[in-house]
Every structure is written in structure tokens, then in C-alpha cells.
Amino acid sequence: MQPHDGMFIDGGWRPAVGTDVIDVRNPATEQVIGAVPAGTAEDVDAAVQAARAALPGWAATAPGERAARIAALRDALAARQEEIAETVTAELGSPIGFSRKVHAGVPVAVAGSYAGIAAEFPFEERVGNSRVFQEPVGVVGAITPWNYPLHQIVAKAAPALAAGCTLVLKPAEDTPLVAQLFAEAVQQAGVPAGVFNLVTGRGTVAGAALAGHPDLDLISFTGSTAVGRRIGAAAGGAVKRVALELGGKSANVILPTADLARAVRTGVANVMGNSGQTCSAWTRMLVHTDQYDEAVERAAAAVATYVPGDPRQDTTRLGPLVNAAQRDRVNGYIVRGTEEGATVVAGGPGAPDGPSTGYYVRPTVFAEVGPDMTIAQEEIFGPVLSLLRYQDTEDALRIANGTVYGLAGAVWAGSEEEAVAFARRMETGQVDINGGRFNPLAPFGGYKQSGVGRELGSHGLAEFLQTKSLQL
């Protein structure tokens, strides 16, 4: 797509207030592939005003008509899936196969799910002598990350639209092109002017202006726990609704009765997907001490099949990280792991063989990782897997729950009942049982410092609603 040189505000593209721009760089070639405006507080204010003006009309629109607009949005995204995939591959570095299946395919499924939910959701119910209404919370400020750029936009915009809210989106500065493509799809879908608005810009300027804007009713943020903590504090001070989807350090618990080969193979794939830049990635693999050595060998062999390469090629399974700072950050964690005594059984620090340009790191597996090591406690956000051994089930549970995070996880066992029993004791918001598939209708979100609130499905819609009761 050809980048727009303006902001999408009040149903059309308009020039930015300032002249500063943000270069968009291809992380595989390190070349600039476009530029977008670096929005200011004035741009944000114009977008919020447009959303505020559009709110009464959109909130009063019948749920069936809102559902029809979301269905049209789904269709617009579906018609441009290849363009979406190519755009995400260019600005994020995701292998094209992964981009087609996940970065382009999942947002279509999520948008479709909200078209159905909007048409069927009980926005009104009778409770005794009361009529209880679910009404839109108002104007939403959405701040989204770069790792799943379109999915995170749709996971906020679709339920906000279904609820009758209007919104202003500030996408990540590394991946703004697919956000502009989304704005085009919104326009194509016939969503009324001002209901959706897009301001590109830096987090420290446009993001801060949006998060602190006094005329917003809810801030929905996905990103680091450190930034989320600041946004939550500011929202609390203003007595403003907030939804936060933050970091993770998810445990992949392989119980002794599990199919070890499948559990290890799937666990490695989970961590290597999107170059490890996934907040819910199962970066800690917990294995019983009797099976530990075999699991280490299997993990090292599996990682060897993830060879860094050109993300435009269909055969590539591992692309670069999003930028130079992220590459250096991940390499720093790999060095820290070796310094603290973990054993590198695959990969290690430094650039991989092969690509002569790009922000690549070596896919890495650590063995003999202690639960208190930095690489077992902090979110690395790269293709780095730590294997930890446990002595018994209670030890496994203690290790699994032994971080400040609680976003996701996995449990493998010989029976579903055994796995579910363990998962119920995990302090985390979502657990995959024996490789359970992604469900766009299931709520996603974290315990502890992994966030506040839920996304996806009817639970995600509820984040954008407020309740009114009439006693008759």
C-alpha cells in the first residue's frame, strides 16, 4: 500500500498539524520503506473531538446496523488479506506464511465474531421490577503494539464499535502502515464519519496525549507492564475506565503422562512463532526431572529447524526482530542467561549465519535454568526458550506460578481431566490444554501484573459497556 501523509479523522484523511514524520523501516533489509506523520497533541485533540461529536449518533444506532457495519469491515479486511500479509511482513519482518495465517487471517475471524456478537448480545434485560441496559462507555482511546499490529487493532476496535463506542487509535510507531490500511477498510465498510479515527505518532508524544486526554471515557492499552502501570495510575487519578493487556512469562507444563515429543515440538513452535515477539508465548518449559534430558534434546533438535531467513520467502520460518533496539535487548538477555549459569544447548548470543542485513538473533534454547534466573522471570520477547526441571506436581505448580505475570500458559497430560485439574490451579488468564486451538470467542487477558480486563468474545465487549438500571 502507499502510505498516507495525513491522519484519518472524521471520516477522511487530513494533513497533520506538524511536519515531523516517522520513517518505517523493513527489519529484514534495514531500509526505509515509507513514512507517516508524527502526530502531536493537537492531532489527538482533533481526533477526540471528532469521536465525541460522532458518539450520540453511533450509540443510538441499532445493534443490528452496527453488526452490519462490522460484517462489512470483516469483508473489507478479507478481500485484502494478501495485501495485509505483505504489509505486515514488510514492516514487522514476520515470515509471509505466518503473516497470511495469523496477522491477516486472525483479524478477519475476530471481526467476524463481533459481527455475530453485536447482532445477538442482550443489551437490555428484565431483572425483577427493573430494566437493565448495557450502554456504550463513550469515547475510547486505543493504544496498540507492534507485535500483532492488525489483530490488536481489531481486538479493540471491533468490540468498541459493537458496543456503540467511538474511538481514537494510536498504533505502534514501528508498524503504522497496516493501521492505515485498517482505516481504509473502515471507510470502505461505511462506518460513519468520526466513529473511528487514526492518529499515527510516537508513544511519548501522541500516545501520551491520548492516554491523558480529559475527554476520553476509557483507555485500552496493550504493551509493556511498565507503560501500562503509568497509564493505569493516570486513569485511576482521573477516575477513568482502563483496560490493560500487558506482559507475560507463560509456563508450558509437561506432566509425566503427556506425549513428550508432541508437547516439546508444539512448545518450541509456540516460542519461535513471530520471532518470539508474543506476550503470551510459552517461554518457560517445565519438565519432570526424569524426562528432562530427553526434552532438552528434543527442544534443541526442534529449534534447529527454525533457520533465520528472508521473511518474504514461503519457506522461511523465522524472521528478524522488529528493530535494532529489540535485537540488542534480546541478545542482552541471552548473555545474561549464560552469565547466571544456564546452559546454551542451541543458539546463543550474536548474529546468526545467513542473512547479511536485518535485526536477526539466533533462536536459543537454555537448559539448567533456575526458576529465579532473570531469563525465567523477565519477558524477553524474542525466540528464546528456557527449560526448567521440576520434582513433582506441587513443585511444577510452584514454579509455574512463581512470576509476577499471569497471562497465558499450557498444560500437557495423558488425559484432559488431569491437565484441566492442574490448569485450574495456575494463576493465569488463559491455558491451552494438550494443544487446544485458538478460539476468537474465548476471553483473553491476565492475572497479576499481566493486566486488567479481557479482550475477545462477549467478555471483550463488556469492557466497552456500562450498566444502567431502571426500577419500574
Q: What is the pLDDT of residues 153-199, one digit of tens each?
A: 999 999 999 999 999 999 999 999 999 999 999 999 999 999 999 99
Q: Is 394 a catalytic residue?
A: no
Q: Is the pTM of this model over 0.95?
A: yes
| Tens of each residue's pLDDT in the chain, 472 residues | 788 999 999 999 999 999 999 999 999 999 999 999 999 999 999 999 999 999 999 999 999 999 999 999 999 999 999 999 999 999 999 999 999 999 999 999 999 999 999 999 999 999 999 999 999 999 999 999 999 999 999 999 999 999 999 999 999 999 999 999 999 999 999 999 999 999 999 999 999 999 999 999 999 999 999 899 999 988 888 889 999 999 999 999 999 999 999 999 999 999 999 999 999 999 999 999 999 999 999 999 999 999 999 999 999 999 999 999 999 999 999 999 999 999 999 999 999 998 999 999 999 999 999 999 999 999 999 999 999 999 999 999 999 999 999 999 999 999 999 999 999 999 999 999 999 999 999 999 999 999 999 999 999 999 999 999 999 9
Task: State the pairing for strand pair 32-37/21-25.
Answer: antiparallel
The single residue of 279, 379, 418, 463 carrying the catalytic annotation is 279
**Superfamily of structural domain 6-246+450-471:** Aldehyde Dehydrogenase; Chain A, domain 1 (3.40.605.10)
* 229, three cell numbers: 502501570
Active-site entry in 245, 379, 455, 463: 245
Question: What topology is assigned to 251-439 in CATH?
Answer: Aldehyde Dehydrogenase; Chain A, domain 2 (3.40.309)
Express each pLDDT in 382-429 by its tens digit: 999 999 999 999 999 999 999 999 999 999 999 999 999 999 999 999
Domain ranges of the chain: 6-246+450-471, 251-439
For the chain, the three-class secondary structure string (H helix, E strand, C coil) is CCCCCEEEECCEEEECCCCCEEEEECCCCCCEEEEEECCCHHHHHHHHHHHHHHHHHHHCCCHHHHHHHHHHHHHHHHHCHHHHHHHHHHHHCCCHHHHHHHHHHHHHHHHHHHHHHHHHCCCEEEECCEEEEEEECCEEEEECCCCCHHHHHHHHHHHHHHHCCEEEEECCCCCCHHHHHHHHHHHHCCCCCCCEEECCCCHHHHHHHHHCCCCCCEEEEECCHHHHHHHHHHHHHCCCEEEEECCCCCEEEECCCCCHHHHHHHHHHHHHHHHHCCCCCCCEEEEECCCHHHHHHHHHHHHCCCCECCCCCCCCCECCCCCHHHHHHHHHHHHHHHHCCCEEEECCCCCCCCCCCCCCCCCEEEECCCCCCHHHHCCCCCCEEEEEEECCHHHHHHHHCCCCEECCEEEECCCHHHHHHHHCCCCCCCCEECCCCCCCCCCECCEECCEECCECHHHHHHCCEEEEEEEC
Catalytic residue status for 279: yes
